[in-house]
Amino acid sequence: MIDIGFLEVAIAICLMILAIILARWQRTGTEKELAIGTVRSFVQLVAVGYALEFIFGMENFFAIIGTMVVMMMVGAYTAGKRAVNIKNGSVISFIAIFTGSLVTLGLMLGLGIIKAKAQYMIPLGGMIIGNSMNCSALVMERLYSDISGNKLAIETSLSLGKSWQDASRTYFQRAIKAGMMHMLNFFKTVGLVALPGAMTGMILAGASPLKAVLIQIIVGYMLTAAVTVAGIVAAQLAIRQMFTTHHQLKL
Amino acid sequence: MDGAHVTTPDAILDIKGLNRSVLVKPGAKRIIIDDFNFSFSEGQIYTIVGPSGSGKSSLLRLLNRLDERDDGEIIFQGESIDSIPVQALREKIALVFQMPYVFPGTVESNLLYSRSKKHENERNELIDLLNRVGLDEMYLPRNPENLSLGQQQRVALARSLSMEPEILLLDEPTSALDPGASRTIEELLTNLNQTMNLTLIIVTHNFRQALRLGGISLVLIDGRIIEAGPTKELFENPANEQTRKFIAGELR
């Protein structure tokens, strides 16, 4: 494997300069965004790289947990902002992301598949948190739009003596499905159309393809489990804000 | 108790000091139902008339607890509705909406939708329900989404009747229908009242419809009863100026 340093990155930037020149020549109107994006991603990723080097260097369990909690808070805030119509959306997302991460990482640690080291916890945690964040935002948005858009159907159900759980079951299921669609589609095309990121990265770093595939499978199952837990938690908490215990729709 | 309020001995639904308001924006309340007192007798037809926004629909939603009242008492067959499980209450005090909603499937699955218990001779019971709303067994396998609105409203009516309610609340049941279908529903309702001794409380913004339905009318304006009495007398000889204006079409 070639030893990668800042020199190699500087050469790679030439590709971006080429892309910007091309965009300008063809007047695509994207050259400004490309330039800003190049600088921005460079700064952000290098900063994260140094931060992770620092945390990895400490090899302190509480530093790992602290980092993950910060990541969860940022993720929860982002998801909450996307689901504007859900009260306390950020709090709900935090609980959802936290539960999803705790269950899956806890199980992996308990079964001895991974160790409580920054090398495993931070990248896996990052993937879990990112995917759970997307899922809980999608679930909450879909739940609100479906339930507020089907008031007549729901209240007809309630008026026929159904519980709020029965009256809203279809919309609950649809929301969970919407949140997990990305994961379910991933299963269909993985390896055929797209080579997943973790696997590609390992192969580039010199690991054997079979080993990279095995790790990717574990990562895929773990992400799906985490997203399932997060989606269900987010849906259960969000839907409880839309009904009263007396089977009344509050929207 | 309120001195003006008299409980009739055959009252099926007794309402005292009912209030409901909603928060329009933080700190700003709008009163929807304002100190509503009335005693509904068993087996009677009631129409609640009044201009739009007067609180008619909101009143019905309080009676089957789709919405929660702020205060006041609602006594159903001598018992506060708070002591009856909500789901059981809604089977006893059934609500039919202005716009019929039919569940995807068949007319049969719609009629079975509300029932938790399975009956023997199910099919005969379903046919009987359809007959009561002027439809026949040919409709059982049909997709209700393909029926006309008037027929859908009849399916919705039969679906509510399947719960064997004591009181049927109807929220503008014909305002989404054409005049012909409206008349059919009106006739079905008076028929149900007579044959099953079913108590009907019907909200309408159309006082001519109230006249056709007969019974007793309550005129509701700004969440308050301003006049109540036998429908014919009330509209022929309104005691209240606002009732007169409403009949003359000056209040909308």
Distance of CA A84 to the CA centre of its chain: 18
pLDDT digits (tens, 9 = 90+) for A27-78: 998 889 999 999 999 999 999 999 889 988 888 889 999 999 999 999 999 9
Chain B touched by A155 (CB under 8 Å)? yes
The CA-CA-CA angle for residues A145, A183, A232, to 5°, reads 50
Q: Do A246 and B65 touch (CB under 8 A)?
A: yes
Check whether B121 has a pLDDT greater than 70: no
Chain B touched by A247 (CB under 8 Å)? yes
Check whether B80 has a pLDDT greater than 60: yes
Nearest CA in chain B to A160: B114
pLDDT at B4: 46
Q: Which among B178, B195, B91, B217 is positioned nearest to B133, based on CA atoms?
A: B195
Check whether B1 has a pLDDT greater than 50: no
Task: Output phi, psi for B142, to 5 deg.
Answer: -80, 155
Q: pLDDT band at residue B7, thresholds of 50, 70 and 90?
A: low
Cα separation, B8 vs A173, whole angstroms: 49
Positions of chain A with pLDDT under 70:
1-2
Q: pLDDT band at residue B3, thresholds of 50, 70 and 90?
A: very low
pLDDT digits (tens, 9 = 90+) for B156-189: 999 999 999 999 999 999 998 999 999 999 999 9
Q: Which residues pair with B46 in a beta bridge?
A: B201, B216
Chain B touched by A162 (CB under 8 Å)? yes
Tokens of B129: 């329900």
Nearest CA in chain A to B63: A159
Pick B87's closest partner by Cβ from A153, A161, A244: A161
pTM: 0.87
Tokens 């994260």 found at = A48
CA–CA distance from B165 to each of A37, A171, B94, B97 (Å)?
Answer: 66, 28, 6, 15
Contact A227, A183 (CB under 8 A): yes
pLDDT at A215: 87
pLDDT at A1: 52
* First CA to last CA distance, chain A: 58
Q: Say whether B227 sits in a helix, a strand or coil.
A: strand
Taking the CA atoms of chain B, what radius of gyration do you get in angstroms?
Answer: 18
- What ipTM describes this predicted complex? 0.92
pLDDT at A142: 96
Cα separation, A83 vs A143, whole angstroms: 10
Q: What are the residue ranges of helices labelled H in chain A? A: 6-25, 31-58, 61-82, 89-110, 118-149, 151-159, 164-189, 197-204, 209-239
- Between A10 and B41, the more confident residue is B41
Check whether B252 has a pLDDT greater than 60: no
Q: Do B101 and A249 touch (CB under 8 A)?
A: no
pLDDT at A79: 94
Give B-chain residues touching A157 at CB under 8 angstroms: 113
